Amino acid sequence: MGIKIAVCISGRGRNLKAILEMAKNNQALVQVACVLSDKPDAPGLAFAREASIPTVIVERQKGSKTKAQFTTDLCRALDAHKVDYVVLAGFMQVLSSKFISKFESRILNIHPSLLPAFKGLHPQQQALDAQVKTSGCTVHIVTEEVDAGPILTQATVPVFETDSAETLSQRILEAELKLYPATILGLATGQILLSQTDRGVSVMVNPSFKS
Ligand code: GRF
């Protein structure tokens, strides 16, 4: 038992911070081997440094580096750490098919909506525009189609008539900060089981799972 993960970020890293805290409290179960960013100045990198976790910068500069080269660099950086899962936490890059197949069923993402509703950009605004009463967040496996991979876990939050995209985003983020660490821990303990079938990965979540 026990898993080794890499966390990929591009920005403020609130999910990363929550994951690092969970890993610190569950050292025998979850090891954060490295934190990778495509932005050298991502504020979230500070959380990794505070926790003495190795950081890796893999930049993708338009024009100067092709997607294929970016993929090669990402793979090289992650191969060095032999991780079980690649955890995307606000990583603002669309991954190549080659990368996704190399880490097949082992790349996780969190999306701030109840997938399959409101895929893509600005899901909180999409939820407000659709006047739904409930939204939330989803942890899913990354596949080629964006925000469409098998769902592991979800958490719901209410949507109020007075909400703006900012207030709803903040409420969803609070749910993310519980759901993502709990889901990773669930994979480490076997509360969440992934198994490969002929038709892709199948996900089994113990009914007692709580975020
Ligand atoms: C979160 O809202 C997450 O759902 C989305 O990107 C945001 C990342 O925030 N994928 P942070 O960098 O973890 O603070």
Does residue 181 have its Cβ closer than 6 Å to ligand 1?
Answer: no
CA of 181 to the centre of ligand 1 (A): 13
Per cent of the chain over pLDDT 90 is 91
CA of 89 to the centre of ligand 1 (A): 6
Lowest mean pLDDT among 67-71, 95-99, 110-114, 131-135: 67-71
Strand runs (DSSP E) across 38-158, as ranges?
55-57, 85-88, 107-111, 134-141, 151-158
How far is 176 from 45, CA to CA, in rounded Å?
19
Does residue 184 have its Cβ closer than 6 Å to ligand 1?
Answer: no
Collect all residues with Cβ–Cβ distance below 8 Å to 130 and sequence separation of at least 6: 117, 118
* Mean pLDDT, residues 168-188: 98
* Tens-digit pLDDT profile for residues 22-67: 999 999 999 999 999 999 999 999 999 999 999 999 998 776 568 8
* Tens-digit pLDDT profile for residues 73-82: 999 999 999 9
Q: How confident is the model at residue 13 (pLDDT cuts 50, 70, 90)?
A: very high
pLDDT of the residue at 64: 59
Does residue 42 have its Cβ closer than 6 Å to ligand 1?
Answer: no
Q: How confident is the model at residue 199 (pLDDT cuts 50, 70, 90)?
A: confident
| Helical pair 165-189 and 14-25, crossing angle rounded to 10 deg | 30
pLDDT of the residue at 200: 86
pLDDT of the residue at 1: 64
Does residue 90 have its Cβ closer than 6 Å to ligand 1?
Answer: yes
pLDDT of the residue at 66: 85
User: DSSP code of 109?
Assistant: E
CA of 56 to the centre of ligand 1 (A): 19
Looking from the CA of residue 15, the nearest atom of ligand 1 is: 13
pTM for this prediction: 0.96
Structure tokens at 118: 């409101």
Q: Whose CA is nearest to atom 12 of ligand 1?
A: 13
